[in-house]
Structure 1
């Protein structure tokens, strides 16, 4: 069986699909990834088609957002009709730049099934054009089906150009949200979130159990590139007065805007969260779905400092389930960090949800289901 993965650009959308792609390959199936750029998927050992060579995806996003007539508040509007209109229009534009090369690759390679990230419209378009089944791969807590439909419906020009009227006749979906953290039914097939955060040569200290609590800190892969690093200034200032070790996993970002770091704060560069968190007591992060779910898998408590996109929704899910806290970045104080590290209720809830997702079907368990569609 040949499975084409079509993902929207950005590591937060590509990385959640990697574990399923690896499971399919391990079972003897062929996998091809179609996405803008594609370096990260190639680094994961996958064959990749760059569907938007030379395109500045960030500029496309900014242009699409600027064309919206209404102001949009990510903290309140994401999970609303206004959110469907706003976000659907932006991701329809992002999907549009990848359509033609994805269709061309698919017509040459002839997949039996198309798996696509849920904030992406190219996957269902390609599957419908080729007459093959499609599977939407969720990556967070939202009810992603309405958003996928909104994106697809807005791709009028692309669908007309390729003679596609509606969704593929055979369409399934994968839901990775822990059931106890959402107030909606499971969409399609539930699947355990198995973190993929990239590979790397680990420094020796990452594997060592520290003498005092270790707290990982990350802002994901986008925020550090758009000037959000200084949102951690208050956290770093608070950290210098605490008996804990803080690890800033900030990728290639220059930590100098945070000033001189105290002795108990380590700037670690790029460290895969799934490797770092097993020796940590907690994670402080921006609320990206991948960071949130990776912390859940590790069973650690979380402090979420949302900045935009779906991060407010993810922060609410964490706080509502009781496995973590949420705060504005400038309101972080010693009392908040102390509670994060010592509140037994938070730790108990984090362990419960880690146990919950461990019982869900693994990516390998879904391989026969996908093969059954072909």
Structure 2
């Protein structure tokens, strides 16, 4: 079986598909990832990857889109609240990539296409080649309705290519725990979210005893620091000295020189996979990216979500509604909020319940035979 994985040009969209790609490869099938921009990081996961748009810049694309669709960009910065808004925004991003996706699919001739639901080109490719498509979720809204909304959003592009309908066979694959999934798709498959945040040699201090002092990881993901800046870091640095905890700033090597000398209980790290870090923490404070949120849930620790735009408000609401953490604004960040995050046993209990729920979901390897059957 030949499987083509098509991702929108973002790490947060391609990383959730890595575990399934590994499972398919381990079963002896061929896998190719077709994407561009930051999502080319899939190659670092040992996956064969093609750049469908060399030189593509997400930032440049978004600036151009902002000039043409200012209301969408204002919405993205303020925070999307509905999956259909996500589709409207990413429709602008994926439309220019459709010809490249079609070309890659026609060259490779897959038996099955797996795609992030905000990528519209894969839908056209599956329809043109007559192969089934899997809508692979990456957050807390079901991938099926999102893919259908993308199909409707791109009706004019379908018409341009002489297509009147989508793939004849499709399946939704959702990775969010069922108790937190919005708009569940009755015809979808559930798959356990296996965190992949990049590889790396783990530092010795990660395994060292903290002496009973709780450790709190702070991360803003890969996109937010470039788009909205370092956000709550300054406020956190003012709060940290008054909290009896060790804070780890996992900001991907962001320049912190403007903040002066860090408090004694705060240290910054250049890069470390979030999964291993979160598993040593009592709590995590972050920006609300879907991959970050799911990775922390997999670790079973409470989280404080400070959403900074895009779909992060959707993710923050899901966490707060399940009781596995808190959702707040940057301005809300104070000593009392951090102490609540550390001291509220209900948050920890709910986080551990979600962790158990995720662990009971079907592992990626168990779905491979079903993919083979789907591919026919």
Per the shorter chain, which TM-score range?
over 0.9
* 1:235 equivalenced with 2:236 (yes/no): yes
CA deviations over 1:293-331 (Å, ceiling 9, x no partner)? 000000010000011011111111111111111111122
Distance 1:61 1:150 in 2: 21
Shift in Å, 1:96: 2.2
Match of 2:30?
A: 30
Report deviation, 1:233.
1.0
SS at match of 2:90: helix
> In 2, are the aligned partners of 1:12 and 1:289 still within 8 Å (CA)?
yes
2:9 aligned partner: 9
Q: What secondary structure does 2:368 align onto?
A: helix
Where in structure 2 are there 5+ consecutive unaligned residues? Answer: none
Partner of 2:115: 116
Please report how far the alpha carbon of residue 260 of structure 1 lies from its aligned counterpart in structure 2 after TM superposition: 1.8
Distance in 1, Cα, partners of 2:177 & 2:31: 27
Alpha-carbon contact 2:80-2:309 (below 8 Å) kept? no
Secondary structure class of the residue paired with 1:335: helix
1:175 correspondence with 2:177: no
- Report SS of the residue matched to 1:153: helix
Match of 1:159 in 2: 158
**Aligned partners of 1:69 and 1:230: how far apart in 2?**
22
Deviation at residue 224 of structure 1 after TM alignment: 1.2
CA distance in 1, matches of 2:350, 2:109: 46
Q: In structure 2, how many angstroms separate the alpha carbons of the residues matched to 1:207 and 1:6? A: 37
| Conservation of the 8 A alpha-carbon contact between 1:36 and 1:98 | no
Aligned to 2:271: 270
Report the Cα offset of residue 101 of structure 1: 2.3
**Equivalent pairs, count:** 371
Task: Give the superposition deviation at 1:158.
Answer: 3.8
| Alpha-carbon contact 1:137-1:173 (below 8 Å) kept | yes
CA distance, structure 2, for counterparts of residue 61 and residue 192 of structure 1: 32
Task: Report the CA distance between 1:69 and its aligned residue.
Answer: 6.2
| TM-score under structure 2 length normalisation | 0.93
After superposition, residues 1-374 of structure 1 pair within 5 angstroms as 1-37=1-37, 38-68=39-69, 70=71, 72-73=74-75, 78-80=80-82, 84=84, 86-156=85-155, 158-186=157-185, 188-211=188-211, 212-374=213-375
Q: CA deviation at 1:267?
A: 0.5
Quote the offset at 1:93 in angstroms: 2.7
Report if aligned partners of 1:5, 1:114 keep a CA contact under 8 Å in 2.
yes
Over the residues paired in the alignment, what is the CA RMSD in angstroms? Answer: 1.9
Change (3 A) 1:186 1:357: farther
Residue deviations 1:9-44 (CA, integer Å, cap 9, x gap): 111101111111011101111100000135311111
- CA–CA separation in structure 1 for the residues paired with 2:154 and 2:214: 49
- Tell me, which stretches of 5 or more residues in structure 1 are unaligned? none
Q: Which stretch shows the higher mean deviation, 46-55 or 137-146?
A: 137-146
Q: Helix, strand or coil for the counterpart of 1:262?
A: coil
SS in 1 for 2:4: strand
TM-score, length basis structure 1: 0.94
